[in-house]
């Protein structure tokens, strides 16, 4: 009889089962490409006007909420950036809907990414946080599962930060807000949406940097291979 041991975060049911499902792997790499497009184009757009405002309007001649330490070097030259940002955003949205739909149907989120009640106890949770902050290389057994910090962070990104960055992005579109004015009104104005969008996007970039660092510490080659082929180690054939 096949081994049916369950490891949290891996969706492993037997020794030959892939570590990540095909949907997770495909959506992961599509999201990687779209996020890179969003990052590059977002930087270009921000450089063209590196000032943040609050309310409905904001321009060079009006008081700003925050002046970012970036010179105006690409003013009115960000047409390509806006086009790439728009394209990458819709790819990310459609890809995200596929990932979330699959995760709900396969119960991936409930089984793999939601921490158990015992893990949320202060002692267990504080130990997990301290362990992650040490940025130590994780053991082989530890790298096979998500710890409580990861299982709190991933749902936060998927169900809070990504929806918020999408909402604020839509709120900056006059064509969309003319049909759905509540999108921008609830945020306090178009410039408020832009400012919130900036901070949420910054949080996502920070998460990405930490994610890459943790993948490196857990074994970069094996984890990247698992996200490409589904298996951490090269398979040498069936016994």
**For residue 7, what pLDDT band results from cuts at 50, 70 and 90?**
very low
Q: Please determine, for residue 134, whether its predicted confidence score (pLDDT) is greater than 60.
A: no
Q: What is the CA radius of gyration of the chain?
A: 21
Greatest pairwise CA separation for the chain in angstroms: 73
What average pLDDT score do residues 53-80 get? 81
**For residue 167, what pLDDT band results from cuts at 50, 70 and 90?**
very high
Q: Which candidate, 83, 88, 66, 81, places its Cα nearest to that of 192?
A: 66
Q: What is the pTM of this model?
A: 0.79
Domain definitions of the chain by residue range: 22-54+61-229
pLDDT score, position 55: 92
d(CA 15, CA 5): 9
d(CA 75, CA 46): 10
Q: Please determine, for residue 35, whether its predicted confidence score (pLDDT) is greater than 70.
A: yes
pLDDT score, position 239: 37
Q: Please determine, for residue 13, whether its predicted confidence score (pLDDT) is greater than 90.
A: no
What average pLDDT score do residues 189-210 get? 95
Instruction: Tell me which CATH code domain 22-54+61-229 carries.
Output: 1.20.950.20
- Counting Cβ atoms within 10 Å, is residue 111 exposed (0-12), middle (13-18) or buried (19+)? middle
Per-position DSSP letters for 167-208, written without gaps between them: HHHHHT-HHHHTT-THHHHTTTSHHHHHHHHHHHHHHHHHHH
Q: Is there a contact between 153 and 112 (Cβ–Cβ < 8 Å)? A: no
What average pLDDT score do residues 77-82 get? 79
- Mean confidence (pLDDT) of the chain: 80
DSSP state of 66: E
Quick one: what percent of the chain has pLDDT higher than 70? 73
């Amino acid at each position: 009889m096949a081994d049916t041991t369950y490891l949290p975060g891996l969706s492993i049911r037997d020794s030959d089962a892939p570590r990540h499902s095909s949907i997770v792997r495909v959506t992961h790499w599509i999201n990687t490409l779209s996020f890179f497009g969003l990052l590059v184009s977002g930087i270009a757009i921000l450089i063209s006007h590196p000032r943040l405002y609050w309310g409905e309007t904001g321009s060079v001649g009006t008081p700003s909420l925050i002046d970012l330490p970036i010179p105006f070097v690409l003013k009115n030259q960000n047409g390509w950036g806006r086009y790439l940002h728009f394209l990458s955003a819709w790819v990310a949205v459609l890809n995200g809907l596929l990932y979330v739909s699959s995760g709900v149907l396969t119960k991936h989120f409930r089984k793999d990414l939601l921490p158990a009640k015992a893990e949320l106890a202060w002692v267990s949770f504080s130990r997990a946080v301290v362990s992650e902050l040490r940025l130590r290389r994780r053991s082989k057994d530890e790298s096979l599962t998500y710890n409580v910090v990861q299982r709190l962070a991933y749902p936060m990104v998927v169900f809070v930060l990504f929806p918020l960055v999408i909402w604020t992005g839509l709120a900056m579109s006059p064509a969309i807000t003319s049909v759905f004015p509540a999108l921008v009104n609830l945020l306090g104005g178009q410039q408020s949406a832009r400012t919130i969008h900036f901070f949420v996007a910054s949080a996502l970039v920070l998460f990405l940097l930490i994610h890459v660092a943790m993948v490196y510490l857990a074994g970069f080659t094996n984890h990247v291979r698992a996200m490409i082929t589904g298996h951490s180690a090269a398979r040498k054939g069936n016994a």
